[in-house]
């Protein structure tokens, strides 16, 4: 598709502007050509007034160099060059005044009053008028260009990417095969709309991309445009809502108008939840009317599409739960494409995509990295590869080594290492026992994920870290695995209590997580069969699948609440006893491992096992802080 003619109104404006400029040039040159007379005019208007008889007298005495008659105005130029002025009756002619003496050499000039007056009275106005118009146009144009001004509020602020500028294709989007499959249809429609219209198929109008932040929604939308080779109009929902009421709606109108002119094309509305929230809902504060009008305009525009409209509206959100139902009705965003956080395979592919444009060293194993990055989104993985490149450059290397990527993972996942942070010896020692406690208990719990690494280097706000890598992403979990997880989480506190006979605040995060697991065992998974039965308690609000948990609505009795609390307490108490048992049984080994850890600060699985038993274990991703 050729470069779209996006700005015809501006071009027209240009022509008007140059025409005015031309008029101005002509007028100003005329003005200049009459300049000598004008300077004379000035002298005339300031001339001294004298009786008419005085002029007649000086004429006859030959003391004048010229007489100028303009209507009833009479000007006389003295031999000295200065002027005097007087008035005559309109009926008086040169003859009656006696200025027509053929022997007198003084010339008498009669000016054409009409022409002179026209120039005198109107030329200035004309020039001024043209100047004002020119200035006005110039101001208007520069405002339009700057776009940031209140003058341009009705114009859409959509960013437009020409078809030829979009290099993104599905190849750049790793994983999310299901989403790509669904969007393939839209690509095909944009490429050959006739195929669909000929058969009478209803054309999709809108597709809503739903996914957690950083999962590649924007990227996918661009890729659809890139695959189809059509222009891409993008705007963010929040940009509609600004400054004045009614602006959003007129922006929408403008955006759709531009898009239709450039069809086939894609309109992409990012963060549509900013305008598309449920209407009339409580608690969102002001700006309702504005948002509502904007939303209504979007709906109206989409309804206005006929069969021939080859514009597809894509939108992205991470809050599908708050969207107005009107947006989701057929004929609007009737296709919903869910984009999940990447699984192991997808993570490896995404890492590979972002390794493509970087100089990678030999022997890089991205699978190991993928295993360490459970729960991270595409944007995080991109960030990791970028950080790795920065580390490599910092170390003065020409290519990226595995170590750089590992370092980057730790930085991105946990905040950067703070070797410099001073922690006193006691604190360090407690941290070491705490982490080794996690490691030993986790290692001894059969269902627990294999241990990966122990570290007492402080990162972010966590003093130490013990990593466990799951063998694969798991979608179902057994009751025993939950219990083992809780046990492992309590290993840190158990070690602290056994060794120091005192307890610290260091385990607060562990306790929180252990409690959360126990609570969902009771409330969501029906794992307290005897007391609570196989019943779900509490209604979840919103998209837990998206990592956005809006909390629970309590829909159970006081009695059930007591039972839930009792289950949580019982479960955690039992696992704590179990964890302490593991630690006590391995007290001496723990001492050796802690001593070693305090020395080397970071301990790998191999180093741990060398002391603990001497056996190889497969690697894997999950951390217990």
Instruction: Judge whether 85 and 73 are in contact, CB under 8 Å.
Output: yes
Structural tokens at position 114: 């009409």
Of 245-253, 312-320, 486-494, 613-621, which segment contacts Zn ion by CB under 5 A? 486-494
Scored b (16 or more CB within 10 A) or e, 126-138 reads beeebeeeeeebe
* Closest CA relative to residue 496, chosen from 442, 576, 421, 608: 576
Among 56, 85, 106, 215, binds ligand ADP (CB under 6 A): 215
CA–CA separation, 207 and 314 (whole Å): 5
Residue 362-391 contact track with ligand ADP, rule CB under 6 A, x = bound: ----------------xx--x---------
Scored b (16 or more CB within 10 A) or e, 21-60 reads eeebeebeeeeeeeeeeeeebeeeeebeeeeeeebbebbe
Residue 379 interacts, among Zn ion, ligand ADP, Mg ion, none and using kind-specific CB cut-offs from 5 to 8 Å, with ligand ADP
Structural tokens at position 179: 């989403």
3-state secondary structure of 207: strand
| Interaction of residue 353 with ligand ADP, rule CB under 6 A | yes
CA dihedral sign of residues 165, 169, 173, 179: positive
The residue nearest Zn ion at its CB is 492
Outline where 373-530 has alpha helix (H): 378-394, 402-414, 425-444, 479-500, 508-523
Q: Which is nearer to ligand ADP, 218 or 586 (CB)?
A: 218
∠161-257-219 over CA atoms, to 5°?
30
* Closest CA relative to residue 622, chosen from 377, 442, 372, 392: 372
CA–CA separation, 413 and 380 (whole Å): 8
Instruction: Judge whether 404 and 413 are in contact, CB under 8 Å.
Output: no
| Interaction of residue 488 with Zn ion, rule CB under 5 A | no
| Interaction of residue 218 with ligand ADP, rule CB under 6 A | yes
CA atoms within 13 A on the CB side of 63: 9
Length of the chain: 625
Q: Which is nearer to ligand ADP, 220 or 451 (CB)?
A: 220
| Interaction of residue 227 with ligand ADP, rule CB under 6 A | no
**Closest distance to Mg ion from the beta carbon of 217 (Å):** 5
The residue nearest ligand ADP at its CB is 378
> For residue 210, what is the enclosing H or E element?
strand 206-211
| Interaction of residue 219 with ligand ADP, rule CB under 6 A | yes
How far is the first Cα of the chain from the last one, in angstroms, to the nearest whole number?
A: 54
Among 492, 517, 528, 586, binds Zn ion (CB under 5 A): 492
Structural tokens at position 82: 């200065």
| Interaction of residue 274 with ligand ADP, rule CB under 6 A | no
Kindly state the greatest CA–CA separation across the chain: 144
Q: Which is nearer to ligand ADP, 210 or 440 (CB)?
A: 210
Q: Which is nearer to ligand ADP, 232 or 556 (CB)?
A: 232
Residue 290 interacts, among Mg ion, ligand ADP, Zn ion, none and using kind-specific CB cut-offs from 5 to 8 Å, with none
∠108-111-113 over CA atoms, to 5°?
150
| Interaction of residue 214 with ligand ADP, rule CB under 6 A | yes
Which residues would be at the binding site for Mg ion (CB under 5 A)?
Answer: 218
* Closest CA relative to residue 76, chosen from 51, 96, 100, 101: 51
Of 59-67, 73-81, 270-278, 491-499, which segment contacts Zn ion by CB under 5 A? 491-499
613: annotated active-site residue: no
Q: Which is nearer to ligand ADP, 239 or 497 (CB)?
A: 239
Q: Which of residues 249-268 bind Zn ion (CB under 5 A)?
A: none
Of 71-79, 95-103, 212-220, 518-526, which segment contacts ligand ADP by CB under 6 A? 212-220
Of 215-223, 275-283, 481-489, 560-568, which segment contacts ligand ADP by CB under 6 A? 215-223
Among 211, 464, 488, 543, binds ligand ADP (CB under 6 A): 211
Of 189-197, 280-288, 395-403, 504-512, which segment contacts Zn ion by CB under 5 A? 504-512
Among 404, 410, 497, 510, binds Zn ion (CB under 5 A): 510
Residue 312-341 contact track with ligand ADP, rule CB under 6 A, x = bound: ----x-------------------------
**Closest distance to Zn ion from the beta carbon of 506 (Å):** 7
CA–CA separation, 20 and 360 (whole Å): 61
Q: Which is nearer to ligand ADP, 211 or 248 (CB)?
A: 211
Neighbours of 529 (CB within 10 A): 10
Residue 492 interacts, among Zn ion, Mg ion, ligand ADP, none and using kind-specific CB cut-offs from 5 to 8 Å, with Zn ion
Return phi, psi of residue 163, to 5°. Answer: -55, -40
CA–CA separation, 207 and 336 (whole Å): 6
Instruction: Judge whether 311 and 305 are in contact, CB under 8 Å.
Output: yes
Among 97, 130, 160, 175, binds ligand ADP (CB under 6 A): 175
Q: Which is nearer to Zn ion, 131 or 511 (CB)?
A: 511
State the catalytic residue, choosing from 435, 485, 496, 497: 435
Residue 219 interacts, among ligand ADP, Mg ion, Zn ion, none and using kind-specific CB cut-offs from 5 to 8 Å, with ligand ADP
Instruction: Judge whether 597 and 436 are in contact, CB under 8 Å.
Output: yes
Of 110-118, 217-225, 451-459, 570-578, which segment contacts ligand ADP by CB under 6 A? 217-225
Chain residues in the site for ligand ADP (CB under 6 A): 173-176, 211, 213-219, 316, 350, 353, 378-379, 382
Question: Active-site residue numbers?
Answer: 435
Contacts to Zn ion by CB under 5 A: 492, 510
């Amino acid at each position: 598709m050729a470069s779209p003619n996006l700005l015809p109104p501006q071009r027209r404006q240009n022509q008007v502007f140059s025409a005015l400029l031309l008029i101005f040039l002509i007028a100003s040159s005329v003005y200049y050509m009459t300049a000598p007379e004008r300077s004379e005019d000035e002298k005339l208007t300031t001339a001294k007034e004298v009786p008419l008889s005085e002029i007649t007298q000086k004429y006859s005495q030959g003391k004048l160099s010229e007489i100028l008659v303009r209507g009833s105005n009479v000007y006389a130029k003295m031999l000295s060059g200065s002027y005097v002025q007087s008035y005559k009756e309109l009926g008086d002619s040169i003859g009656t005044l006696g200025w027509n003496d053929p022997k007198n050499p003084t010339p008498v000039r009669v000016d054409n009053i009409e022409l002179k007056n026209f120039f005198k009275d109107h030329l200035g106005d004309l020039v001024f008028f043209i100047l004002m118009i020119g200035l006005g146009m110039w101001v208007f144009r520069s405002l339009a260009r700057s776009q940031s001004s209140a003058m341009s509020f009705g114009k859409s602020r959509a960013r437009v990417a020409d078809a030829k500028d979009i290099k993104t294709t599905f190849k750049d989007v790793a994983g999310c095969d299901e989403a790509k499959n669904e969007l393939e249809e839209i690509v095909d429609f944009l490429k050959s709309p006739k195929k669909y219209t000929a058969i009478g198929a209803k054309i999709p109008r809108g597709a809503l991309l739903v996914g957690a932040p950083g999962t590649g929604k924007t990227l996918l939308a661009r890729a659809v445009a890139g695959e189809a080779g059509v222009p891409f109009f993008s705007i963010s929902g929040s940009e509609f809502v600004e400054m004045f009421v009614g602006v959003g709606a007129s922006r929408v109108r403008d955006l759709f108008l531009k898009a239709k002119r450039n069809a086939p094309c894609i309109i992409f509305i990012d963060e549509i939840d900013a305008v598309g929230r449920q209407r009339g809902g409580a608690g969102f504060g002001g700006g309702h009317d504005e948002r509502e009008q904007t939303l209504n305009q979007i709906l109206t525009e989409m309804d206005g599409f006929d069969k021939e409209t080859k514009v597809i509206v894509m939108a992205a959100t991470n809050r599908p739960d708050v969207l107005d139902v009107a947006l989701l009705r057929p004929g609007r965003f009737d296709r919903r494409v869910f984009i999940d956080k990447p699984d192991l395979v997808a993570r490896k592919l995404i890492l590979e995509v972002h390794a493509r444009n970087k100089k990678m060293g030999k022997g890089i194993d991205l699978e190991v990295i993928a295993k360490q990055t459970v729960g991270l989104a595409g944007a995080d993985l991109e960030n990791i590869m970028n950080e790795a490149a920065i580390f490599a450059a910092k170390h003065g290397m020409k290519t990226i080594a595995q170590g750089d990527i590992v370092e980057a993972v730790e930085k991105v996942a946990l905040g950067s290492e703070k070797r410099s942070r001073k922690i006193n010896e006691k604190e360090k020692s407690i941290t070491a026992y705490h982490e080794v406690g996690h490691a030993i208990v986790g290692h001894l719990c059969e269902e627990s994920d294999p241990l990966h690494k122990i570290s007492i280097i402080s990162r972010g706000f966590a003093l130490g870290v013990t990593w466990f890598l799951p063998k694969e992403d798991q979608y179902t979990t057994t009751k025993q695995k939950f219990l083992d997880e809780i046990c492992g989480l309590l290993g840190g506190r158990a070690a602290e209590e056994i060794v120091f006979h005192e307890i610290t605040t260091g385990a607060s995060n562990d306790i929180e997580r252990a409690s959360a697991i126990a609570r969902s065992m009771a409330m969501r998974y029906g794992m307290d069969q005897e007391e609570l039965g196989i019943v779900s308690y509490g209604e979840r609000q919103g998209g837990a699948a998206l990592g956005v948990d809006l909390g629970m609505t309590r829909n159970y009795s006081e009695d059930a609440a007591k039972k839930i609390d009792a289950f949580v307490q019982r479960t955690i108490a039992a696992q704590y006893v179990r964890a302490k048992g593991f630690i006590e049984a391995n007290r001496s080994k723990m001492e050796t491992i802690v001593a070693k850890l305090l020395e080397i600060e970071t301990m790998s699985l191999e180093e741990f096992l060398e002391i603990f038993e001497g056996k190889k274990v497969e690697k894997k991703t999950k951390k217990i802080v």
